[in-house]
Amino acid sequence: MIELIPAIDIIDGKCVRLSQGDYDTQKIYNENPLEVAKEFEANGIRRLHIVDLDGAKSSHIVNYRVLDKIAGHTSLIIDFGGGIKTDEDLTIAFENGAQMVTLGSVAVKQPDLFKKWLHQYGADRIILGADVKNNRISISGWKEEGPQELIPFLTDYTQEGVHKVLCTDISRDGMLQGPSIGLYKQIMAQFPDMQLIASGGVSCLDDIIRLDEAGIPAVVFGKALYEGRITMKDLKRFM
């Protein structure tokens, strides 16, 4: 059964969503992310993906107080990403309640630092963020396209011990046009033991069903929930 991981994206302490990572498309859904997290928990959700969009833009962690508040007032298992660039940022994330962190830009720009953290904290706490556009890895809040192609990038890091990967198809993110199931099936065919988290494009319950039928272990989604295209009642079948 696929694991459901709703996303809360934070700008200025508020719950927002973007389209294709474009900050100019920002739409505020709730002024209080804790309310959103509590509603998820009340409906049986166990995991939460929090993205510090201010942090991703600033290159250092910003919205850690939101993380601390959600971690302190719910029992959700939280993975946190956005702006984690230094040992201090990583310590702040863990000290404020993140059980796991998702790291993308560091893995591209500072591979030695990423590997140090991987071995220091363990592969269960470090999720490799693979944000993909035109089969290439994008970084820095999706503002830069890196030189690496997806499969070689994943191969290098699985050989280092990575087994949790959050892969986002940027072209689909926030567009409600359906997920890149072919891409995720390709990844799972190459790395059958990977704990792959699919992200980007989920528009309706049928998208999650199709991901589940394709054998994808987990899915991150947000906009479809906030726009009412998927209800918490719809998701009970997966809990």
**Which segments in the chain show pLDDT lower than 50?**
none
Q: Which residues contact 218 (CB under 8 A, 6 or more apart)?
A: 2, 3, 4, 5, 47, 195, 196, 197, 198
Q: Please give the pLDDT value at position 145.
A: 67
Nearest to 176 by CA among 238, 229, 234, 231: 229
What domain count does the chain have? Answer: 1
List C-alpha distances in Å: 175 to 36, 83, 156, 164: 21, 24, 30, 25
CA–CA gap between residue 63 and residue 93 (Å, rounded): 10
Provide the domain limits for residue 182.
3-238
52, 89, 131, 207: the catalytic one is 131
pLDDT digits (tens, 9 = 90+) for 159-170: 999 999 999 988
Give the CATH number for residue 187: 3.20.20.70
User: Could you say which DSSP state residue 215 is in?
Assistant: T
Rounded to a whole number of angstroms, the distance between the first and last alpha carbons of the chain is 9
C-alpha Rg value of the chain to the nearest Å? 16
Check if 9 is active-site: yes
